Amino acid sequence: MVSSLLECNFMRRKALKWMVIIVFIAFLVIGLPIIIIKSLHNHKSRPPPADHYTSRPTPQDQYTEALHKALLFFNAQKWDSGLQDGADATNVKGGLVGGYYNAGDNTKFHFPMSFAMTMLSWSVIEYQHKYKSIKEYDHARELIRWGTDYLLRTFDSSASIIDHIYAQVGGSQNGSTTPDDQTCWERPEDMDYKRPTQVITAGADLAGEMAAALAAASIVFKDDVAYSKKLVQGASTVWTFARNAGKRSTYSRGNLFIAPYYNSTGYYDEYMWGSAWMYCATGNSSYLRLATYIGTAKHAKALTDDPTQRVFSWDNKSPAAMLLLTRVRLFLNPGYPYEDLLRRYHNATSITMCSYLQRYQVFDRTQGGLIELSQGGSQNLQFVVNAVFLASLYADYLEAANSPGSYCGTTFIPLNTLREFATSQMDYILGKNPMNMSYVVGHGDKFPTHVHHRGASIPNDNITYSCQDGVQWLYSDKPNPHNITGAMVGGPDRLDKFIDVRTNSSYTEPTLAGNAGLVAALVSLTAAAGDGVDKNSIFSAISPLYPMAAAPSPPWKP
């Protein structure tokens, strides 16, 4: 009997246990989903908070905010003025109206203008997904086209052979006392003095840079077949001029309207730079052969162990040309007979990146951490933003090639080190510096207010100021009545000091070339649409370098 009772109790407990388990499983399968659905229904049915439709969007990173402003500077430099520009030029339909004023003056310097268009195009080619993400793609293309349309008017772009190029509109000679772009302080729309056109019959540097600008833009506009073809044709024409043995001199030599302002120190760097872009735009291997010819590299001093050759600027394209050709090596790997120079360019590019790192003490730093690429000279920021762009872009190239970093001698440098250099320098420019000042007008709470810029400094008071009457606004200690939004000024000195005085142009004047580098650097750093570059679009004109593998034969059937 005892045995039977124990067995009965055991069976009851076992049955109860299984009932609990079945109820729990039923709750998980049936009850829990019902509770969740009701909860979601109740959540969705609640009215939105009072500020639901007026709340701010997710804040952008500061690089994106600054980029929106930096692009506006180019709009400001267009101006509806200079309608008689190029009236003294021959064979130019409609004159030389359009283009961009260079800086705070009203001169059109075609050498730095061409460089600026190349830089804008390069940034759009590499980071078009970012431009599209922040809705600046169409704006950037419009700015480029405004510049390239103008450049096509500076020579006979319908011809295959030309004997002259218009190199500049306006300007001044040092020590001039006659009314001109330097002695007068007038709004662009009020200019009433002569603006002579400078024409050159030799100048491989200007022609080479123009070819680079037009070739790069042809890739930007490859979706507009007719315009892209027009740009390639124009690029070929000025390239032929550049390579003409009788035209091989610097465009500024002996010209007193050009040499004091944008003097060129050589043209072989433009041969490297221009031929690299021509290769990308056309796929013609003769351009790659020239870019990887040892004589070109030697005369450009591209491979010399000289820190000044590692500073990318409107006058020295070698560091950027070697980076662009390193891109060719990383992603196309053309092999013989190009590999030897491409490998050396790749190595030189790595050395350039190493020179930017503080641990190697190639370039001095200010106490605030700004790299001194101007070697103690003025307008340092325009060189810094170019270095930021190159470092950021090189890191993206390596990442796209599945490489974790680079080497400085035997020391491995991870990609983050290059990116930290780039962000530290850009952060300094945007306000993280001893002056607690952003050097981009309109960005941040504190920025320069006495920018050396005619249009920004003269009030909109319905008064037309003459050449000398306008000078009062140059010397005024009042802030500019108009912010030239997005303009990056020359920047601080080597002691991190900035003198916000309109008459001191080395501190307070923005330039077209400087802002082009700023735009390129900012878009490379912005977190919009993620990191990385467009690996393939730049090479769309290049045919496969190796024969395509034959399709496999169909299986044999008896």
Residues with catalytic function: 452
Q: Tokens for 418, please give them.
A: 């290059």
Compute how many other C-beta atoms are within 10 angstroms of the C-beta atom of residue 68.
18
Compute how many other C-beta atoms are within 10 angstroms of the C-beta atom of residue 241.
26
| Distance in angstroms (rounded) separating the CA atoms of residues 558 and 550 | 23
| Distance in angstroms (rounded) separating the CA atoms of residues 293 and 289 | 6
CA distance readout (Å), 324 to 216, 256, 292, 320, 328: 12, 34, 12, 6, 7
| Distance in angstroms (rounded) separating the CA atoms of residues 165 and 251 | 10
Contact 428, 370 (CB under 8 A): yes
Q: What is the largest CA-CA distance in the chain?
A: 131
Contact 334, 348 (CB under 8 A): no
Q: Select from 274, 277, 396 the least CA-distant residue to 331.
A: 396
Q: Select from 236, 82, 230, 249 the least CA-distant residue to 168.
A: 82
**DSSP letter at 197?**
E
Q: Select from 232, 317, 291, 278 the least CA-distant residue to 513.
A: 317
